[in-house]
Amino acid sequence: MSERTMTTRPPFKKTGEGVWAASGGLVVAGPDEVAFLKENVRGVERRRARICAHADDQELLQDMLILLERGTYVRPHLHRDKAESLCVIEGEADAVFFDDAGAITEAITIGPAHTGRQFFYRISSPRFHTLLLRSDHFIFHETTTGPFRREFTQAAPWAPEEGDPAAGDYLSSLEGQVRAFIRNGVE
């Protein structure tokens, strides 16, 4: 008979608005962590919450569980000299990719594997991208290369900043463009 070792979930330390860091050599996630994100996103101005599984911004591999609420605006952006992958845990969204001028080049509806949707993508070279939520919550696992440096992320110059009153109109317009793009059979 084999012996099974039980693990305890690491405590989370709040490191910023909507950001918690796990600690310990073994970080695990399950329904409790999803519930934690859903509970703790309430009142977060940017309508998103994350648990970072990496110890700090200097680590070469950075894993996060991220929750976005419907209506949150993720300004289109790209990452210079970084790879990024996303794997859906719960909810649905459109992953939207753009050329340098802001024209949509790809729009993919993503959801958990059991839905039959695409559930994973990896960006290996710099591409402008964003997420448009189709569900009340969208929860995903994101992995990227570190160390984290804000200057490695380039915001799309043709999209309004987060917090800009024009962001709501841009988001509505983009949702219409993506629906048309998908309807034309390019999904």
pLDDT in tens, 152-171: 899 999 999 999 999 999 99
The mean of the pLDDT values for the chain is 90
State the pTM of this model: 0.89
Domain count, the chain: 1
Confidence of residue 185 (pLDDT cuts 50, 70, 90): low
| Structural domain boundaries, residue 181 | 12-186
To which H or E segment does residue 67 belong?
Answer: strand 61-69
Q: For residue 23, tell me if it sits in a domain.
A: yes
Look up the CATH number of the domain holding residue 62. 2.60.120.10
pLDDT tens digits, 74-108: 999 999 889 999 999 999 999 999 999 999 999 99
Q: For residue 1, tell me if it sits in a domain.
A: no
Look at 61 and 111; give whichever has higher pLDDT.
111
Residue 152 to residue 31: CA distance in whole angstroms = 32
Q: For residue 117, tell me if it sits in a domain.
A: yes
Q: For residue 16, tell me if it sits in a domain.
A: yes
Q: For residue 97, tell me if it sits in a domain.
A: yes
Q: For residue 4, tell me if it sits in a domain.
A: no
Position 22 scores a pLDDT of 85
Position 4 scores a pLDDT of 46
Q: Of all residues in the chain, what percent carry a pLDDT higher than 90?
A: 71
Q: For residue 137, tell me if it sits in a domain.
A: yes
Q: 91: closest CA among 54, 65, 122?
A: 65
Cβ-proximal residues to 76 (8 Å cutoff; 6+ apart), any chain: 96, 98, 102, 128, 129, 130, 155, 156, 158, 159
Q: For residue 3, tell me if it sits in a domain.
A: no
- C-alpha of 46 from chain center: 13
